[in-house]
Amino acid sequence: MSTLTYREALREGMRAALAADERVFLMGEDVGLYGGCFAVSLGLLEEFGPERILDTPLSESAFVGAGIGAALAGQRPIVEIMTVNFSLLALDQILNNAATMSHMSGGQFHVPLVIRMTTGAGRQLAAQHSHSLEAWYAHIPGLRVVTPATVADAAGMLLTALEDPDPVLIFEHGGLFSLSGSCPMAPCPLTWTRQPSCDRVTTSPSLAMAQGCTRAWRWQHRWPTPWTWRSSTSAPCVRWTRRRCSRSVGRTGRLVVVEEGWRSGGIGAELAARAAEHAFWDLDAPVERVATAEVPIPYAKHLEDAALPSVQDVTEAVRRVMQ
């Protein structure tokens, strides 16, 4: 094991994939000479050359479409979109082409495309660059959505995504890039979800919210064990909730869902509904949901902090279900 930052782990995952398979290449805006908008691909151009690390024009629709074409031709492209809001410019390519190709061809064609994008708020980038749109994409059949919340996940989930025959969207929270943690010296593929542990409250956060839940547990140290949490969400979510969440809720009797997205129609609403469908008789309290205020994310720091879920919000939700 070695200690890396989240961005370094992402880079090591891509380096391992590029070295292991000549079909893998990276493309996106400023991923080459500049090293990536968030320095994730720094140094890869010098190591693998301009044919494997491609700077693209400022047209998300064009280079996502090129990635789909390359995937259909047998390559394993990694497409980087700077921030999640820019992915909206490629929605037709992602939703109407990548997500539907396998189904509409009767399984004759697959699109093994990986799209990486930065998501989340908390960095004073105002409303346009602070979206958490994972729920939008998780709603679409044919897409798999993963949200690595730890350093080890950042490296391993990319390798798992590249093994998938269908498109995978990786949402990387911008507030985690400087997070340090342990990572295997040689990154290896991971399973999409963690196995639950036995404790008093099941929490289901994603991305930076996982770190917030950990801090909340440390703050309220009187609880004897950490809360169960998982760092990935896939679409469709049936296996995740029926098998893993239901088993965990069966032991704890309580569920708190924490997300940085908006509350209405979000991932948290889906997980709460699935828990009610498949673990209702195991629940000893109503499901608690902690989410971002349903407003455009403000630029002012104190207003942005007020809009986002806090450690105190998580702690109060756990207190409510424990009562």
pLDDT tens-digit profile of 218-253?
A: 444 443 333 333 333 333 333 454 666 777 788 888
> To 5 degrees, how large is the angle CA 111–CA 176–CA 99?
15
Q: What is the pLDDT of residue 184?
A: 78
Per-residue pLDDT tens for 284-314? Answer: 999 999 998 998 888 899 998 999 988 888 8
Q: What is the pLDDT of residue 194?
A: 44
86 compared with 265, residue with greater pLDDT: 86
Distance linking the first and last C-alpha atoms of the chain: 41
Per-residue pLDDT tens for 30-59? Answer: 999 999 999 999 999 999 999 999 999 999
The token duo for 179 is: 């997070």
Confidence of residue 204 (pLDDT cuts 50, 70, 90): low
Q: What is the pLDDT of residue 155?
A: 85
What are the extents of the domains in the chain?
A: 2-183, 202-322
Per-residue pLDDT tens for 137-157? Answer: 988 889 998 888 888 888 888
216 compared with 278, residue with greater pLDDT: 278
CA distance 110 to 74: 9
200-234 per-residue burial string, b: 16 or more CB within 10 A, e: under 16: bbbbbbbbbbbbbbbebbeeeeeeeeebbbbbbbb
For the ranges 14-23, 232-241, 251-260, the maximum mean pLDDT occurs at 14-23
Confidence of residue 202 (pLDDT cuts 50, 70, 90): low
Q: State mean pLDDT over 57-76.
A: 96
Are domains 2-183 and 202-322 of this chain identical in fold?
yes
The token duo for 300 is: 């002012």
Average pLDDT of the chain is 83
129 compared with 98, residue with greater pLDDT: 98
Q: Which CATH number fits domain 202-322: 3.20.20.20, 3.40.50.920, 3.40.50.720, 1.10.10.10?
A: 3.40.50.920
CATH topology of domain 2-183: Rossmann fold (3.40.50)
For the ranges 10-14, 140-144, 319-323, the maximum mean pLDDT occurs at 10-14
Tell me what percent of the residues of the chain surpass a pLDDT of 70: 82
